[in-house]
Amino acid sequence: MVFTLYLQDIRNLLREWSDEIDQCERVWIRASVSNRRIFFDYEDPVLVKGDERLRTFPFPTRRPVSRLVCNPTK
């Protein structure tokens, strides 16, 4: 149930930002292959698999530690 609420929150946020997303030249997504379904696999998605604007980061990333989330300049 928590995961379902999480999915809904992300998809609602994508809908709220859809006008801005539509205007972007590039859309950067960092998610595992299994978690990418959050962005694409639902009815009337904001982002479509195969969109030429979609990119991944060309280097490994990790989850940010709370210190970075609270103050990203340090």
Look at residue 74 and tell me whether its pLDDT is greater than 60.
Answer: no
Segment (H or E) for 28: strand 27-28
**What are the residues whose beta carbons fall under 8 Å from the beta carbon of 11, sequence distance 6 or more?**
38, 42, 45, 46
How confident is the model at residue 71, as a pLDDT?
Answer: 62
Which tens digits make up the pLDDT trace of 10-50?
999 999 999 999 999 999 988 888 888 889 888 899 999 89
